[in-house]
Structure 1
Amino acid sequence: MTITTYKWTIQRYHQAIEAGIFDDQHVELLRGDIIVMPPEREPHAYYNTETADYLRLLLGERVKIRDAKPITLPDNSEPAPDIAIVKPLGDIYLQHHPYPEDIFWIIEFSYATLNKDLGDKKDAYAEAGISEYWVANLKNTELKVFRDIQNNRYTTELTLTTGTVTPLAFPDISVQVERIIGLPKINN
């Protein structure tokens, strides 16, 4: 016997959302699969909010910072990254979520979802052509920065615990790594 799984399209996914099929469950579509997102714990929510506020101060009206809002990718994916730094296109986003060409970079805060964020999500973002992807690893207090796409894969990976990082799209901005990942815990 062969097991066949159902692959969702973005259109069917939107129809299911409009029909209330998922109720208030936090789900996202990744490569045709519906992923139920785990509840957000306090550190995740804290760093997500603080980083979004920090980036709004740094970048001003040059961008729109979207927290946990969907983006649309061409491979039947509609993930909701923790932070998407996108072009400020105004009411265009009433018609569609940001497409890859609208996205400057994406940030995910990871603890429970670290394997997915460093695996399937990283691959999906690279394949979609999103030029920069950051993962704040809350388990190890480090920032992973992925850049330089070749053959649908990120070829540069930086692991940062201190200092600053400059986003590719904004070479005039320096982002303090500690503001993204927090300070290391001191054991007494």
Structure 2
Amino acid sequence: MTVTTYKWTIERYHRAIEAGIFEDQPIELWRGELIVMPPEREPYAYYNTEAADYLRTLLGERAKIRDAKPITLLNNSEPVPDVAIVKPLGEVYLEHHPYPEDIFWIIEFSKATLSKDLGEKKDIYAQAGIAEYWVVNLKTAQLQVFRDLKNGQYTTKLILTTSTIAPLAFPDIFVQVQRFVGFPSK
């Protein structure tokens, strides 16, 4: 007996969502496969919210901060990154989720899904052309930054626990790493 898996396209996935098939289950589409997402625990939700608010303050009107909203990639993937920093295109997003060319960078906060975020999800983002990808490792209080795409792979990896970093898209903005890996009192 041959086992055949069903590969989802973005169009079929959207039709299934519209039909209400997945309404009780948080899922993402990765390379045509449905991925069930684990429930959020308190530290994850806290850091995600605080970081998104911090970036809104830093970037103002220069970017739109979308937390826990889908993005649409050409490799039959529609992940839901924890934070996507995207072009402020307004009502364009009524027609479609941000495409790779609309995305400045993506951030994932990770503990239970760390191996997937540093493996398959990183590869999906790199192959889609996302210029910069940050993973906040909640286990070790580290910010891992992936950038410098070449042939669908990130060629630079930075591991930070302190100091500041300037995102590629906004070299004049300095993000305090501590605000992501261990929020100091304000």
User: What does residue 173 of structure 1 align with?
Assistant: 173
RMSD: 1.0
3-state DSSP of counterpart to 1:157 = strand
Match of 1:130 in 2: 130
Aligned residue in 2 for 1:77: 77
TM-superposed CA distance for 1:147, in Å, is 0.3
1: CA distance, partners of 2:166 / 2:93: 27
SS state of the match for residue 91, structure 2? helix
Match of 1:142 in 2: 142
Q: TM-score, normalised by structure 2?
A: 0.97
Residue 99 of structure 1: aligned partner: 99
CA distance in 1: counterparts of 2:122 and 2:17, whole angstroms: 25
Structure 2 unpaired stretches of 5+:
none
Task: Tell me the CA shift for residue 183 of structure 1.
Answer: 5.5
Partner of 1:29: 29
Q: Identity of aligned pairs, percent?
A: 76
Give the Å deviation of 1:23.
Answer: 2.1
Task: Decide whether aligned partners of structure 1 residues 92 and 14 sit closer, same or farther in structure 2, where only a CA change above 3 A counts.
Answer: same
Partner Cα distance (1:183, 1:66) in 2: 20
2:135 match: secondary structure? strand
Determine helix, strand or coil for the equivalent of 1:21: coil
User: Aligned equivalents of 2:168 and 2:130: distance in 1?
Assistant: 11
State the Cα deviation string for residues 107-159 of structure 1 (Å, max 9, x = none): 00000110110011100100011100000000111000000001100000000
- 2:122 matches 1:154: no
Q: CA offset at residue 24 of structure 1?
A: 2.4
Q: CA deviation at 1:25?
A: 1.2
User: What is aligned with 1:87?
Assistant: 87
SS of the equivalent of 2:149 reads strand
Q: How many residues align?
A: 184
> Gaps (5+ residues) in structure 1?
none
* 2:25 aligned partner, one-letter code: Q
- Residue deviations 1:37-94, cap 9 Å, x none? 0000001000000000000000000000000000000000000000000000000000
